Chain A
């Protein structure tokens, strides 16, 4: 982190507003983030979500998708809250709370893995395009344009139809839609820095292009990428649910997934609306958490936001 601080401060020595004197840009950003109430709410939601996802086996009162109380579910009614089942049962006779907690797991794993893949591939493309320029840039940006011109749902449907209905294809589908976002972001950020004094200085010092790009320009582009990744995680959580909602999700019913819980709840909307409300709220709150955190990060990392 200290290396990053050094790069940042040398690049913009007097960008810090009063009261933050002596702090590096990352420390100043952290300070601004802590003072942003909606950012804290977002961070708390995200933290809770991650904790629930990781600790699901400990927190959940039962094992997931057992269907062991199937006998209690009748065609006309689904048992509601009781002493044994805080939120009641789902329509397959499993504990609803357990399913919700394990659903956080699927969302987190799929969301994080897909964003990581999308970020990695997009970053490589963006760095090649922005760092090398010339025909490499042209070719890569044409590919990105084509990717952008296909609605993300279609990309997702194609990938899922090609690879079959499983969690891996959902992940790849979501990352495919994210690749152009990250590629453009990194390219734009690198291009913007190209003409800056410190880059010119490094070049005149005789540093190799790869070293300038990887060692100096890239760290300065990290902020926007971090912001975008957080915001993209919010959409990823919704997309995961949307794809399962369309029937593209994991075919294995033993995997608890919020989107599929919503689909199956539709058949019993009249008798048991809670089956739809809880997973829906879970998706919305998680997405809200990532969005709030992302927007707060954006404000915090922007040196111009001197509040």
Chain B
């Protein structure tokens, strides 16, 4: 177990190190003077001189890289060319919105997807099974941003059931402790603030949840089908165990293992989806930050974004792998 963690952390450091070299080379591979390229349309002689001095573009390349690496290690990801704000603090400020959205989407997908996949497998070939399989196919082929736009049009613009954008009504004077608005409301006992944040969260979570939902239904169904045909299930049935005990202990526990690994693999897709969903619902998460950075070619932000996400992504996968070992004793042994 410990060696697994150490090995994965080692790989993580290696990946981040490789990435830092790539990102370092990236800005220097831009055509023309790097300081001018960084500043883009905002390039003034004074600005260029300042950026050249700050990033040391006039020094030898290896020295530049060491300075860059040293800054990264100390958590200095640079500052946005457009706003002048430090990249890292903007991230930590905006990240809770993205996490809240992703967790809500994932929760929705698990709560709906696992039972649906289970029932579909138990009644293979039935109406519900066909619906689940067909529905999960739709979930894969309908782009998340299209689903988001559709949900926004039908449920909020047309029917008016949900707010169209943002995370909370601006008129609500809510206290923010953690940055997760729904949780904040519960912690501070501002129930109406929490309720309002939840209403804002429903549509984005539905849209984003469609990706993991489709996959969870498929994987759960497939792995339940596989476990159902195994000997130990037949033995349990022959012993005369109650159906509910068999489903819980003998089928679901085994069938959920592949589901848990899939969840880790979904982290990247979820993130891409969150970026797209946030732009549709104007949520101030890292998605809209990236969107602006891309459109204005804000290189420090893009660099920081890539490093930050690679780190989060690798950590999520590490946690999933470790938890996989905790759930399944067989993994620990091998």
- Interface residues of chain A, those whose CB is within 8 Å of chain B, are 145-146, 149-154, 157-158, 160-162, 234, 238, 241-242, 245-248, 262, 265-266, 269-270, 273, 276-277, 280, 283-284, 287-288, 291-292
Residue of chain B at shortest CB distance from A287? B141
Can you name 19 A-B residue pairings with CB atoms under 8 Å? A149-B15, A151-B267, A151-B310, A154-B306, A157-B306, A158-B26, A158-B306, A161-B302, A162-B29, A238-B143, A245-B279, A265-B149, A270-B153, A270-B157, A277-B150, A280-B142, A280-B150, A284-B146, A292-B137
Interface residues of B in 255-307 (CB under 8 A from A): 267-269, 271-272, 275-276, 279-280, 290-291, 294-295, 297, 299, 302, 305-306
Indicate whether B167 reaches chain A with its CB closer than 8 angstroms. Answer: no
| Contacting residues of chain B (121-173) with chain A, CB-CB under 8 angstroms | 137-138, 140-146, 149-150, 152-153, 157
CB B107 to nearest CB in A, in angstroms, measures: 21
Query: What's the nearest-Cβ distance from chain A to residue B93, in Å?
Result: 20
Residues A241 and B143 in contact in the complex (CB < 8 Å), given A157-B302, A269-B149, A276-B149: yes
Residues of A within 8 A of B143 (CB): 238, 241-242, 280, 283-284, 287
> Main SS of the interface on chain A?
helix
Nearest CB on A from B100, distance (A): 19
Q: How far is the CB of A37 from chain B (nearest CB, A)?
A: 13
User: In the complex where A161-B294, A234-B141 touch, is A246 in contact with B275 (Cβ < 8 A)?
Assistant: yes
Hey, which chain A residues are within 8 Å of B294, CB to CB?
A: 157, 160-161, 246-248
3 nearest A-B pairs in the assembled complex, by CB-CB distance: A151-B268, A280-B146, A153-B272
- Return A155 CB to nearest CB of chain B, in Å: 9
A150 to B23 CA separation, bound complex (whole angstroms)? 13
Q: Which listed residue (B29, B141, B145, B146) contacts A288, Cβ 8 A?
A: B141
CB distance from A90 to the nearest CB of B (A): 15
- Contact yes or no, B271 A273, CB < 8 A: no
B331 CB within 8 Å of chain A: no
B236 at the interface (CB under 8 A from A): no
Q: Residues of B contacting A291 with CB < 8 Å?
A: 137, 140-141
Give every chain A residue within 8 A of B319 (Cβ-Cβ).
Answer: none
Out of A146, A160, A266, which one reaches B149, CB within 8 Å? A266
| Complex Cα gap A146–B13 (Å) | 11
Residues of B contacting A280 in the complex (Cβ-Cβ under 8 angstroms):
142-143, 146, 149-150
A284 touches B280 (CB 8 A): no
B207–chain A nearest beta-carbon distance, Å = 12
Task: State whether A149 and B142 are in contact (beta carbons under 8 Å apart), knowing that A158-B306, A266-B280, A269-B157 are contacts in the complex.
Answer: no
**B43 at interface (Cβ–Cβ under 8 A)?**
no
Contact between chains at B153 and A273 (CB < 8 Å) = yes
